[in-house]
Amino acid sequence: MRTPFIAGNWKMNKTVSEAVVLVDELKAALSGVPASSVDIAVCPAFVALTSVKPALAGSSIKLGAQNAYYEPKGAYTGEVSIGMLTGIVDYIIIGHSERRQIFGETDALVNKKVLAVIAAGLLPIMCIGETLAENEAGQTEAVLERQTRDGLVNVSPADIAKVTIAYEPIWAIGTGRAATSDDAQNRCAFVRAQVRLKYGDLADQVRIQYGGSVTPANAKELLAKPDIDGALVGGASLKAGDFSAIVKAVAAQ
Ligand code: 13P
């Protein structure tokens, strides 16, 4: 019912020329994967987008950005507008935990960005997830409920299926310590239940990714879970062999 979706978040890695090399490697590694079996995207740094875009031609790999600002233009030094990305990317990651934790992004800002991405005709990947302290304090569901609710304010029923939600427990990011597949499934099912409270059965059309130390070794088990519709991959997305192995793990299911 939901096409699985694997996205690579390259974070602040790869120069422009390195990004093009990685894309060439990915195209070769993924050439045998039927486009109908899985949606694939890579999200390089802003400066690499216009070089990666033509390099992706002829493949089914889509392009995403890692962030954007919601204002259309103006005196926002260092920011990139969604309009500037239109025609280049299909997806924009919004509210990654690194944006929230290092750059102070709030649920209210995340919501403005989600709405602006949808208004521009692009597809947001809205990230949510609890810290280790919140997890250990038993606050995970409260955090996920708040982030899901506040991030989706004023997103209409007609648009909700355009949103991908990435559940990324912060303690699992870059640590090599992924959530167990059962825990990840339970959290993703909880998030879907939150979406269902507001949007009813449209929740069944919303893709929910898991992110946090996804590797070729754990991808198959995670992605076999019914409420995990894909993965947002960090470190392993920087290696063509690893990323393509993750894609193939879901494409084969
Ligand atoms: P890792 O896969 O490196 O843990 O990163 C996950 C992530 O933050 C993807 O957005």
Q: What is the pLDDT of residue 126?
A: 99
Backbone torsions φ then ψ of 127, nearest 5 degrees: -95, 140
Mean pLDDT, residues 140-166: 98
| SS3 category, 35 | coil
pLDDT at 19 over 90: yes
**What's the pLDDT at 47?**
98
Residue 77 confidence class, pLDDT cut points 50, 70, 90: very high
Q: Tell me what the pLDDT averaged over the chain comes to.
A: 97
Global pTM exceeds 0.85: yes
Residues 6+ apart with CB under 8 A from 147: 95, 107, 110, 128, 129
Output the residue whose Cα is nearest ligand 1's atom 7. 234
Predicted confidence (pLDDT) at residue 252 exceeds the cutoff of 90: no
- How many other C-beta atoms can be found within 10 angstroms of the C-beta atom of residue 205? 14
Structural domain range at position 87 = 5-251
User: pLDDT tens digits, residue range 128-152?
Assistant: 999 999 999 999 999 999 999 999 9
Answer whether 242 contacts ligand 1 (Cβ < 6 A).
no
| CATH number of the domain that residue 119 is part of | 3.20.20.70
Number of separate domains in the chain: 1
- Closest-CA residue, ligand 1 atom 2, reads 234
Q: What's the confidence (pLDDT) of residue 251?
A: 83
pLDDT band of residue 82 (cuts 50, 70, 90) is very high
Q: How far does the centroid of ligand 1 lie from the alpha carbon of residue 178, in Å?
A: 10
What's CA 150's distance to the chain center, in Å? 18
> What does the pLDDT read at residue 35?
87
213, 237, 238, 243: residue to mutate for ligand 1 pocket, most atoms within 8 A of CB: 213
- Averaged pLDDT, 143-170: 98
pLDDT at 199 (0 to 100): 98
pLDDT confidence of residue 253: 82
What pLDDT, on the 0 to 100 scale, is given for residue 216? 97
The one-character DSSP state at 4 is P
Neighbour tally for 143: CB within 10 Å: 18
Residue 36 is predicted with a pLDDT of: 87
In degrees and rounded to multiples of 5, residue 217 shows phi and psi of -75, -30
